[in-house]
Amino acid sequence: MKGIVFTEFLDYVADCFGRDMVDDLLDDCDFSHCGAYTAVATYDHRELVQLILSLSRQAGVPAPTILRDFGVHLSQTFARRFPFFFEERTTLFDFLDSVENTIHVEVLKLYPDAELPRFITNRRDDSVMSLDYHSSRCFSGLAAGLIEGAARYYDTAIELTQATVSQGNATHVRFDITLR
């Protein structure tokens, strides 16, 4: 997993829970690199899981809530850091359609070793889209937060539901996004 996810997670923790909590998490997890993440390096996604679980224990917030809230934060960060991906699209559905075949293509040009999730969209009509999330990392909560954050960017009210398609491991989750 690219380091930008880790650096942004620590920023999210500092913003929502304070700088001391960042130190507490890094002490609790005791990584060999001491949490010195760089945005362009690649790290084991299980470190993010450890950080989330530690934050959940220490802050008393359910891990799924943390993951989803972090997804919203990350989406807002992406909109600030990479505005051209957002500004070139006029609607939430146009943006979500572009993730797999435009944004991820550009990311892979810069970072050929990136292991990106797949986002396959299907517009059922003008107000309903399904999005199939495929990832061995099972971070569907993060994907949900990213979708919600994108909806905020486009000032679009949505109803988001999800269902696990592959049993037992959440490697394939279908999101139904309905415009309200």
Q: Quick one: 111 and 149 in the same domain?
A: yes
Q: What is the pLDDT of residues 95-146, one digit of tens each?
A: 999 999 999 999 999 888 888 999 999 999 999 999 999 998 889 999 999 9
Euclidean distance between the first and the last CA atom of the chain, given in angstroms as a whole number: 34
Q: Quick one: 81 and 140 in the same domain?
A: yes
Domain span at 107? 71-179
66: in domain = no
Quick one: angle between helices 19-29 and 3-17, nearest 10?
A: 130
Domain endpoint, select from 61, 88, 109: 61
Q: What percentage of the chain exceeds 90 in pLDDT?
A: 79
What CA–CA distance (Å, rounded) separates 122 from 126? 11
What CA–CA distance (Å, rounded) separates 122 from 25? 39
For residue 72, CA distances in Å to 31, 78, 105, 171 come to: 26, 10, 22, 20
Angle at 90 between CA 154 and CA 95, to 5 degrees: 75
Per-residue pLDDT of the chain (180 residues; tens, 9 = 90+): 889 999 999 999 999 999 999 999 999 988 888 788 998 888 999 999 999 999 999 999 999 999 999 999 999 999 999 999 999 999 999 999 999 999 999 999 988 888 899 999 999 999 999 999 999 888 999 999 999 999 999 999 999 999 877 756 668 899 999 999
Q: Quick one: 56 and 102 in the same domain?
A: no
Instruction: Indicate the pTM of the whole model.
Output: 0.93
